[in-house]
Amino acid sequence: MEKKEIPTLSDGPSQQGFYVGLYLEHLEECSFLYEQRLTLFEDPEICWTDIEDFEERFEAHVDAFVIGEQLALDVCRMRAAEGDFGELHAALRVFCRQKRMDYLQEALEGADINEDTMTAITEALKHELPEDWHDLIGKMLSFDAVDLIRIGAIVTGFKRLPFERELLKLLYDKKIAPVPEVIHALGRIGGQSAQHDLLGMLADSDNRVAHESALALLRLGAPQIIDNLLKKAHQHDWPLMLIGIAGKKEHAAALHDIYHHRGKSADLLLALGFLGDPASIPILMDNLADGPMGATSALALNLITGANLYEEVFIPEAIDEDTLFEDELEKVKKGASPDADAEPAGAYVFQLSTNPESWRTWWRNNAERFDPSLCHRNGRPFTPAGILENLMSDQSPHAVRQWAAEEWAIKTGQNLTFETDFPVSIQKKVLAGIDATKR
C-alpha cells in the first residue's frame, strides 16, 4: 500500500472541520481516560470492578473512530504524530481495530520513545493487537533495540503468544544485558527449557532480573528454589513476597527469624499475611501503630483472619507547597492548616483499621477458631478457594490481587491466561470460569 503523507487537519468552520473537531474531542477524552485508568489501580478509594466504567467510556470513544471511516483515521494519524502519549495510545488502538498495519507502523516509527510512550504503545498492543498480527511481536523480539524487545516481551507474556524460541534466543544473547521483561514472559508461556538458565540468573546483581527469574521458575514448577530464596532474604527484600506466595507454613518461622535479626519491611509483613501462619499475628499487631507499616500490617492481618475491621478515615489532600504564600508555608511546616478558617481538603475513605486495640480485642475473641498447625486465608484454613476469593473481592487492593494471581498459578499449576490489568469484563469471565474442582 502506498505510503501517504500524514494529513494536517483543522476544526475550522466547515462540515469537515466540524467532524474533525468531534474526533479531536474524542481523542482528548480517550487520552484522559487512558491516563486515569492507569492511576486507578493504586487508588485506595477505587475497587477493581469500578474501573470497568472507565473502560466502557473509553470504548465508546474508540467506537466513534471505528464508524468514522477515513477522516477519523486521518485525525488519528495526525494526533499520533503530534499529540500526547494518551492520544498516541488511542490512535494505535484504532489502527489495530481497523486493521491498518501501515498506519500502526507509521506511528511506531515516528514515536519519540520515552517511558510514557513506551507504556502507551505497550498498553495499546496488549489490549488490541489483532490475532493475525502476532508476527509483528515476533519481529520486535528479533531487533537489537532494547525498547522494542521490552514491548514485544510484555505483549508476549500478556497475551501468551507462542514466542518461546525468540525469548530463549534473547536469554542466551550475551551481547545484551538480561531483559527482565523477557524473563517475565518466559514464566507466562511455560518455557520449561529455560529453567537451567533462569537458575543461574538468581544470582544476578540486578535485583529485578533475579526477582523475575525466581518468579518465572516458581510458575514453571520449581518450588525447590525457596530454600535459595530464604538465604537471599537475609540480605535482600526482593525474595520475601515470592516466599510468601509460594511457601508453606514452615517458611513463616524462617521469616520470623529474618524479622527479628534483620528488621522489618513492608514486603516481609505482607509475605507473612500470604503465608497465613497464626503465629505471625503478634508480629503484625506489634507493627499496626508504626506509621507506613501500619496499613501493610492491617492488610496482612486481614489476609489471615478475614476480620474485615474497616473504619472511615479522613485522608487529607496533598498540599502543593509551591502554591502557598510564605506565611501559609510556615503554618504547614508547623503541622497546621494554611487556612485555619477553611474546611480541610481531602476525602473520607473506608480502610482497614490500624488501631492495635481493635485488633487485639478481635483476636482475643476469635483466636480459638484458628488451628495453630494450619495456615489460614480470609479466616479459614488455607485452600486455593481463598486465593480465588482474594482475586474476586472488591476489597482486595491491586497489589494483593497481583500477588494472588501469581500465587494461583504457582500453587494450583493452572497457568491461566489472566492478568489483573485485563479489562474488568474479561477478568470476571475468567474468574467465573475457573474449574471448581481446583478451588
pTM of the full predicted structure?
Answer: 0.89
* Contact indicator for 259, 231 with CB cutoff of 8 Å: no
Question: Mean per-residue pLDDT for 177-204?
Answer: 89
Which tens digits make up the pLDDT trace of 53-83? 999 999 999 999 988 889 999 999 999 999 9
Q: What is the mean pLDDT of the chain?
A: 91
Each residue's pLDDT tens digit, 235-244: 999 999 999 9
Listed range (48-62, 68-82, 298-312, 330-344) with the worst mean pLDDT: 330-344
Q: State residue 334's pLDDT score.
A: 63
Output the pLDDT for position 318.
64
- 346 vs 423: which has the higher pLDDT: 423
Computed over its alpha carbons, how large is the radius of gyration of the chain? 25
pLDDT tens per residue, range 373-389: 999 999 999 999 999 99
- Domain 136-221 classification at class level: mainly alpha
CA angle 141, 212, 426 (to 5 degrees): 75
Please give the pLDDT value at position 340: 57
> Residue 303 is placed in which grid cell?
489476609
> SS in 3 state form for the chain?
CCCCCCCCCCCCCCHHHHHHHHHHHHHHHHHHHHHHHHHHCCCCCCCHHHHHHHHHHHHHHHHHHHCCHHHHHHHHHHHHHHCCHHHHHHHHHHHHHCCCHHHHHHHHHHCCCCHHHHHHHHHHHHHHCCHHHHHHHHHHCCCCCHHHHHHHHHHHHHHCCCCHHHHHHHHHCCCCCCCHHHHHHHHHCCCHHHHHHHHHHCCCCCHHHHHHHHHHHHHCCCHHHHHHHHHHCCCCCCCHHHHHHHCCHHHHHHHHHHHHHCCCCHHHHHHHHHHCCHHHHHHHHHCCCCCHHHHHHHHHHHHHHCCCCEEEEEEECCCCHHHCCHHHHHHHHCCCCCCCCCCCCEEEEEEECCCHHHHHHHHHHHHHHCCCCCCEECCEECCHHHHHHHHHCCCCCHHHHHHHHHHHHHHHCCCCCCCCCCCHHHHHHHHHCCCHHHC
What band does 1 get if pLDDT is binned at 50, 70 and 90? very low
Residue 350 pLDDT more than 90? no
Domain ranges in the chain?
A: 1-128, 136-221
Rounded distance between C-alpha atoms, residue 80 and residue 110, angstroms = 9
pLDDT band per the 50, 70, 90 thresholds, residue 341:
low
Tell how many helices (H) and how many strands (E) occur in the chain. Answer: 23, 4
pLDDT of residue 292: 84
> What single letter denotes the amino acid at residue 336?
A
